[in-house]
Amino acid sequence: MSGTPVRTSGRPLHGEPILERAFRLLGAFAEAGESLPLHALATRAGLPKSTTSRIANQLMGVGALERLDNGDFVVGLQLLEIASLAPRGHGLRAAALPFMEDLHRVTHQHILLAVRDGHEAVLVERLSARDAAAVKYRVGGRLPLTETGIGVALLAHAPEQVRDEALASATNAGHLRRLMAAIRREGVCAMTGPNPLRTGPTTMSTVAAPILNRRGDSLGALSLVAPDEGRTQVAARVALRTASLAISRTAGL
């Protein structure tokens, strides 16, 4: 999911700036390569069709949206060009990618890289083997901090206020506190839980490690997601911890 709230009234908030409405249109796209007709774009953004059409045409004018031959809208390449300049995303990705590729070649599973944005994690990169079990989250998608291994790794080094607010709304606050303490102590954690997808293994395992700068502040987090196999977790913990430290040194921050 894109994380963008959907309004059901069909009318924008009173006095809502056009920039916010434009971002609601862009946030309506939830899947990579997705195309949306005007009515679907308006419904997801919670805007009237006339408003959606006007703003979409303006976004097309600056390259943020493009239109297919059948009239559907898609995200424009201009957004990719701008997003590639984001230091918290692509800057970290450039430092992490060689180590992620090593982990991917060895494990033949999913290797994820994410950064924290408020109370959510944003997936910056994902390397996936062709025969690996399907996972729920896509590059650019948002993950809950309290329900995913990579999210907990980010939460462990988030500001105290963010941690307190996340724990206040969590149903497993005690377990999360223990996991975060382990991350701060050992630099890595492991979680096992039900697969959120109906297909594939019923239980999935995640091993995650934070990526810190020289001051100990969080730059992002790295994780390995695979079918639950307890015998592989020890090796995965060592590998993820080693990779996260190497990425921290490579990032040089």
% of the chain at pLDDT higher than 90: 42
Report percent pLDDT > 70 for the chain.
Answer: 81
Q: Token pair of 253, please? A: 């921050």
The answer to whether residues 97 and 125 touch, using CB atoms and an 8 Å cutoff, is yes
Give the pLDDT confidence score for residue 165 in this predicted structure. 93
Whether residue 3 is predicted with pLDDT greater than 90 in this model: the reply is: no
> Helices (DSSP H) in 84-189: which residue ranges?
92-107, 149-155, 160-168, 173-186
Instruction: Please state, in angstroms and rounded to a whole number, the distance separating the CA atoms of residues 112 and 124.
Output: 8
Residue ranges matching CATH 1.10.10.10 in the chain: 18-83
Whether the per-residue pLDDT at 57 is higher than 80: the answer is: yes
How are beta strands 142-144 and 189-194 bridged, if at all?
Answer: unpaired
If you average pLDDT over residues 4-18, what whole number do you get?
52
**CATH class as words, domain 18-83:** mainly alpha
Cα 205–chain centre separation: 18
Class of domain 87-251: alpha beta
pLDDT tens digits for range 122-180? 888 888 877 666 676 778 788 889 988 999 999 999 999 999 999 998 888 999 999 99
Give per-residue pLDDT as tens, 186-241.
999 988 876 666 666 567 788 999 999 888 889 999 999 887 665 557 788 899 99
Give the residue-averaged pLDDT of 46-63: 92
Q: Any residues with CB less than 8 A from the CB of 176 and at least 6 apart, and which?
A: 146, 152, 155, 166, 167, 170
H helix or E strand, kind and range, residue 222: strand 218-227
Q: Specify the domain boundaries for CATH 3.30.450.40 within the chain.
A: 87-251
